[in-house]
Structure 1
Amino acid sequence: MSAQISDSIEEKRGFFTRWFMSTNHKDIGVLYLFTAGLAGLISVTLTVYMRMELQHPGVQYMCLEGMRLVADAAAECTPNAHLWNVVVTYHGILMMFFVVIPALFGGFGNYFMPLHIGAPDMAFPRLNNLSYWLYVCGVSLAIASLLSPGGSDQPGAGVGWVLYPPLSTTEAGYAMDLAIFAVHVSGATSILGAINIITTFLNMRAPGMTLFKVPLFAWAVFITAWMILLSLPVLAGGITMLLMDRNFGTQFFDPAGGGDPVLYQHILWFFGHPEVYMLILPGFGIISHVISTFARKPIFGYLPMVLAMAAIAFLGFIVWAHHMYTAGMSLTQQTYFQMATMTIAVPTGIKVFSWIATMWGGSIEFKTPMLWALAFLFTVGGVTGVVIAQGSLDRVYHDTYYIVAHFHYVMSLGALFAIFAGTYYWIGKMSGRQYPEWAGQLHFWMMFIGSNLIFFPQHFLGRQGMPRRYIDYPVEFSYWNNISSIGAYISFASFLFFIGIVFYTLFAGKPVNVPNYWNEHADTLEWTLPSPPPEHTFETLPKPEDWDRAQAHR
């Protein structure tokens, strides 16, 4: 994506200086989005390979005799369980640490949060540059880990993305150590970004922009930054203990030496459950702006929406052990975590019903971003989450495909759909060129149908008792697995089509000649700027009359 060059010094910058040494928040946001897209392509490819293997009973592709891309019934195939575990592990690690948070928080957050509050840039521009390049190092370490010697004398670490001991402490090779370092570096870049976001939000708002006149996306990114700042150091401590157990003879998680592997589960999930909301809260902000724009109405209940996000963030820190009902806990503990978990449905419901109220009576325009917002099926994942909040039911569904379906309705049809909504909503603003509407809508329908075909049948597989993370299964599970795999192929084709749409838009899309190419209800400050925005924005700070009429939330 290009940005307008405002003076002769900037015109002399080459490609390397512009993109590798930039401290401009807009350039860094674009870099985050581009790198997250590459990591996402790798992760989605691993997903398709998993679904190829699971389409039919028996092992056809992941063989000890060698990986295959075409099934050969006549050739011998000894199941390669390590390869399967590696594919599952790196799909999770890449998606959780290197795709969704960097795209929503690092990409859209860096680009639009300063614009929404009228700030010239981030508070610490050089720190912003450092956090991006640490992110690149983290992605590189993760890919290096995938290709490095691991267990069973094969590449990669096959322990699952949660890195549970004793699997992670006994896995041979240094692929496991590189994976832990990759997560460490990912945490460092997120913490640095969070410090920058918090400082910018609190200190660089436009004159007269009080806290409760800040747009919802900026609020979402700000609250997410606090969650990152409070939870990631806990994970850092846990995986540091893993490294110590692996390399320095400590026994934090080894029962033979007085350690406790369940301690790691508490550490991981104290970070892991807030992470779910770190992934989804920026998406909430994007969806709020998209719905308000295309319903042609101000968002309903602005203040309750802000308070609901803050409540979700707070409650996210006190429900972690609902992931651990089967690890053993007292009835009193289980009762508390059940009640606390179900309480999160209240602020989440406030957001969902506020979106519905915003659309009610509005003049809805079904452009591509609005389609993604309407298909934002986080609610389905939330409803199934209330189901498995019950300890008695969770004992039945734990480690079955019901959990896979629940989680991916939150992540894939939640956070990922929010990324697509934000991309189509803002790509014209970022690039100065607009996507073809027919192509965006075709991509939406392909992805919507494909994603639901993947994950909705997995609820049935879970109810039938199919365990997750298995390379093979009895023939009784074949019907829904076949449908799920067909959905994966459709979704993968739609993702490749999306990449084509992005490149077509950047190089041949219809030029955007107006600041606001949607309507008057796209009312945040970026819509007062040219498309694309100039290299330096708000060198003269916006006055209240520039934004207050549009931001008068009551």
Structure 2
Amino acid sequence: MTDATTPTVAPERATPVTLARNPSQRALGLHRELTRVWRNDRGLWGQITAVNHTTLGLRFMGTALIFFAIGGILSMLIRAQLATHEGAFLDTDLYNQIFTMHGSIMMFLFAIPMLEGLGIWLLPKLLGTRDMAFPRLTALGYWCYLFGGLIMLTALLFGVAPHDGWFMYTPLSDATHSPGINADVWLLGVTFVEISAVAAAVEITVTILRQRAPGMRLTEMPLFAWYMLGTSVMMLVGFPPLIAGSVLLELERAFGWPFFDPTRGGDPLLWQHLFWLFGHPEVYIIFLPAAGAMSMIIPVMCRTTILGYGAIVAAILALVFLSFGLWVHHMFTVGIPHMALAFFSAASVLVAVPTAVQVFAWIGTMWKGRPEMHLPMYHILGFFLTFVMGGLTGVMLAIVPFNWQAHDTAFVTAHLHYVLIGGFVFPMMAAATYWLPLISGKRRIKGLGEAAFWVILLGFHGTFFIMHLTGLLGMPRRIDVYPDNPEWVWLNLTSSIFSFVLTIGFAMFVLDLILQVTLGKRERRDPWRAPTLDWAMPIPSPSYNFASIPTPQHLGHTARNTVLSLARGEGALPGAPRGRRELLVTSVGDAQPHHVALLPGNTALPLGLSASIGVFVVLMLAGQYALAGLALVPVAVLIWVWARGMAPAGDLGRVLVAPDLRLPVHHRVHPSLGRTGLSAFLVANGTLFVSLMFGVAFLSVVTPASVPPVAGAQTLSSALGLGLIAIALALAAGVARTPTRGAVALTLGLNLVALLALLWLAFSQMDDPTRHARDALRAVLAGYVGLHILVAAAMAAFVLDQFRRGEIDAQTQGALSAWQLWQGFTTAVALISVVVLGAQVVLS
């Protein structure tokens, strides 16, 4: 074995797009062969160990539907309380818990997981592949979502649920004003659930960029994939600010680090900035997948092609960009300078333009086609009627003088529901009725679904349309009692009555789905005659999706002979002759065949890892911080075992993909799916770091006069310590470029030197983080950098272990590429932090 490694670098245009057909095989034989490899294990153990995207996507959506029902029940309790002006149905604290949990469940436990589930279930089918890029990561995301949601629901059952509103404004949510664990349940529970969101964003990004069928260029992929790509990028950039804010607020509550305490250099507005840096993009995170579903359904229902494909893609990109310039839209009344108010008001109005482009493209598609009024089309028309009204009230709220009058009134509540139910729930109901035959293999029973639509439409507008008037008449939201104002009383009573009508409509909709699955007649062919790959497979869809991967000859056609061609193995990578789960990986731009990825089989590792994280969260809630630290040990061990499971099993050779093409497996190529996935994760990680830097800059500008002199730090010794860290990590990043065992060992030593220097600075030179917000932010930056150095050292040790076991050689790269990428990122954030900390020490 040689010490140096030179892994294969597959060029972006390694092979021609045109692939020769594979010889035809027996479809039934291929089905049995693939099912043996891709199916879940039997019984309860099979449910625990499943990693297949179809199973997990359905689990996400099914669990989200259950949480939607729970959130709906909570909303009924809210409306029962508000039906009369002095409602005695709920006391104030319980009402606060219920309305906080209603918003939190609908946002974090229903909407986001529902769109994740739809993307996980549908994208591989649309793109012509067999699974997501990282199946175990999908399973980990699901279990984190489930356990985080159960923690929050358990807190509600025991009367200790969060009660400070679903956006947890400080100082109301600090330890002084909210003692007990109520706020901690939100901070830790939601952060636990957000692991799922970030994992799904990484999965979706990599799957879209690297697993499209050969020849499916970015400019030719289904619009739903473009929408989900925009959504995943927004999740990678939008969720980290909330994670950063939640960590900072939990540190303040648990340990007294004063990030938001104005008496010690903090500022409550820092929380609002971090929250709404997530909160407003989240509206578009929720909307885009629903819009993507409509962009798939409308052309099929109208027997035509989508109008303005390029314009819609441009509108998606514009929405992604503009959504991050609107967060102050929610802070117009907190004392923002007038120049900033004008800027964010204009941005809030401008975002209506790309939204309008999409709406007019859908209308134009309907106009040029021949719409057929199947049930999905009913819900799409419900979207038009509802969402457009919500968009118009959003433009009204973007105007600063009107916003000052309507802020925190029932008008805002009505607007929010028009946007979210109109822009997400109606399209999701259309998606459910459109794709359910592919899930169940059954035809729907006509009648009940149509009746449910009309009841939902009537109940929704009866509940929320007049709520605009309630808000314009001055009624604030988030109150459990209100004065005996006749106008408010009758409007609230009417809203409450219609809210129960809305609930009945949703119950009818769910019943319609259940009846189709249980009593519907067998459906063996595409009932919609759609020209997309999601219907180019047996119904219901098998665990492996495609017996062979679609090639350019198959794209855009789902005629019976095309479906049979794929089922008979005439596409790429037919069957599972080697008894392994194999995926075809393509290049980013034009989907050239690049290599074959070998996926892991069923495993309980994701459940064990998520359960270990759950133990950490529960111990933090119990205030057992030392034990919580110990609970991270099994987390680290399981991550190590997880990584060991990705090692190659001997010399796998090149895999026959088509008669004229053999490709290497993922251990022998660069860039592999793993490196692409880590790159996507580092986008989120980098955004988290930028959020911390934003906190440093914000407090430096807002409270500069309150910075006290350095109490314990010695300027010279601190500078020497920071210099040692910078030199050690800069050398480590340079040495890591040499992929030899000796270089890896040297890099490990340099990381340990930097980590020891950082620990010396933290415990002997830095001030008490409870003294001032500046010192607290220094401590957080030191912890962030220290964690990254520790991970870099652990990854170097893992790579050395791979060298020892012979898993890295001249042809196989193992974890080398991922470690080098992480080492470079660690060095970059450490050097920036050193500059910031050093400047603060010198200036102090």
Task: Identify the match of residue 85 of structure 2 among 39, 47, 57.
Answer: 57
Which residue of 1 is the match for residue 371 of structure 2?
364
Assess if the C-alpha contact under 8 Å between 2:127 and 2:208 holds in 1: yes
Which residue of 2 is the match for residue 547 of structure 1?
555
- Cα distance in 2 for residues equivalent to 1:312 and 1:20: 38
- Cα distance in 2 for residues equivalent to 1:326 and 1:92: 22
Which residue of 1 is the match for residue 153 of structure 2?
143
Is 1:112 equivalent to 2:112 in the alignment?
no
Which residue of 2 is the match for residue 74 of structure 1?
none
Question: What is the CA-CA distance between 1:9 and the residue it aligns to?
Answer: 6.7
CA change 1:7–1:258 in 2 (3 A) is: closer
Question: What is the CA-CA distance between 1:523 and the residue it aligns to?
Answer: 1.7
Percent sequence identity is 36
C-alpha offsets along residues 445-497 of structure 1, whole Å, 9 cap, x if unaligned? Answer: 11111111111011111111111111122332012212211121011112222
Structure 1 unaligned segments of length 5 or more: list them. 63-79, 149-153
Question: What is the CA-CA distance between 1:123 and the residue it aligns to?
Answer: 0.7
Is 1:234 equivalent to 2:241 in the alignment?
yes
Assess if the C-alpha contact under 8 Å between 1:145 and 1:176 holds in 2: no
Question: What is the CA-CA distance between 1:12 and the residue it aligns to?
Answer: 8.6
Is 1:399 equivalent to 2:408 in the alignment?
yes
- Cα distance in 1 for residues equivalent to 2:320 and 2:341: 21
Question: What is the CA-CA distance between 1:503 and the residue it aligns to?
Answer: 2.1
Assess if the C-alpha contact under 8 Å between 1:443 and 1:498 holds in 2: yes
Which residue of 2 is the match for residue 538 of structure 1?
546
Task: Identify the match of residue 338 of structure 1 among 345, 353, 356.
Answer: 345
Which residue of 2 is the match for residue 87 of structure 1?
98
Question: What is the CA-CA distance between 1:366 and the residue it aligns to?
Answer: 1.0
Is 1:198 equivalent to 2:205 in the alignment?
yes
Assess if the C-alpha contact under 8 Å between 2:245 and 2:274 holds in 1: yes
Which residue of 2 is the match for residue 31 of structure 1?
59
- Secondary structure at 2:402 match in 1: helix
- Cα distance in 2 for residues equivalent to 1:403 and 1:428: 38
Give TM-score, length-normalised by structure 1.
0.92
Amino acid at match of 1:329: I
C-alpha offsets along residues 414-465 of structure 1, whole Å, 9 cap, x if unaligned? Answer: 2111211111110111111122121111111111111111110111111111
> Max radius of gyration: which structure?
2
* Larger relative contact order (CA 8 Å, sep ≥ 6): 2
- Cα distance in 2 for residues equivalent to 1:38 and 1:15: 23
**Superposed, which structure 2 residues align to 1:79-478 within 5 Å?**
80-104=91-115, 106-148=116-158, 154-169=159-174, 170-376=177-383, 377-474=386-483, 475-476=485-486, 477-478=488-489
Q: CA RMSD in A?
A: 1.7
Assess if the C-alpha contact under 8 Å between 1:322 and 1:341 holds in 2: yes
- Secondary structure at 1:545 match in 2: coil
Question: What is the CA-CA distance between 1:256 and the residue it aligns to?
Answer: 1.6
- Cα distance in 1 for residues equivalent to 2:355 and 2:448: 32
Task: Identify the match of residue 46 of structure 1 among 65, 74, 78.
Answer: 74
Structure 2 unaligned segments of length 5 or more: list them. 1-30, 559-844
Assess if the C-alpha contact under 8 Å between 1:141 and 1:181 holds in 2: no
Question: What is the CA-CA distance between 1:549 and the residue it aligns to?
Answer: 5.4
- Cα distance in 1 for residues equivalent to 2:120 and 2:302: 26
- Cα distance in 2 for residues equivalent to 1:295 and 1:238: 46
- Cα distance in 1 for residues equivalent to 2:502 and 2:433: 18
Assess if the C-alpha contact under 8 Å between 1:144 and 1:178 holds in 2: no
Question: What is the CA-CA distance between 1:11 and the residue it aligns to?
Answer: 7.3
Give the aligned length: 522
Give TM-score, length-normalised by structure 2.
0.61
C-alpha offsets along residues 144-186 of structure 1, whole Å, 9 cap, x if unaligned? Answer: 23234xxxxx532210000111111131221321221111012
Which residue of 1 is the match for residue 721 of structure 2?
none
Dislocated runs of 4+, deviation >6 Å = 9-12
Question: What is the CA-CA distance between 1:539 and the residue it aligns to?
Answer: 4.3
- Cα distance in 2 for residues equivalent to 1:224 and 1:379: 21
Amino acid at match of 1:446: V
- Secondary structure at 1:274 match in 2: helix
- Cα distance in 2 for residues equivalent to 1:309 and 1:275: 14
Assess if the C-alpha contact under 8 Å between 1:367 and 1:437 holds in 2: no
Assess if the C-alpha contact under 8 Å between 2:41 and 2:49 holds in 1: no
CA change 1:282–1:10 in 2 (3 A) is: closer
- Cα distance in 2 for residues equivalent to 1:498 and 1:182: 30
Which residue of 2 is the match for residue 481 of structure 1?
492
With 172-181 and 276-285 compared, the bigger mean Cα shift is at: 172-181
Amino acid at match of 2:475: M
Assess if the C-alpha contact under 8 Å between 1:290 and 1:425 holds in 2: yes
- Cα distance in 2 for residues equivalent to 1:48 and 1:454: 11
C-alpha offsets along residues 273-304 of structure 1, whole Å, 9 cap, x if unaligned? Answer: 00000011000001111211111111110111
- Cα distance in 1 for residues equivalent to 2:536 and 2:118: 18
With 392-401 and 491-500 compared, the bigger mean Cα shift is at: 491-500
- Secondary structure at 2:163 match in 1: coil
- Cα distance in 2 for residues equivalent to 1:535 and 1:324: 47
- Cα distance in 2 for residues equivalent to 1:266 and 1:39: 28
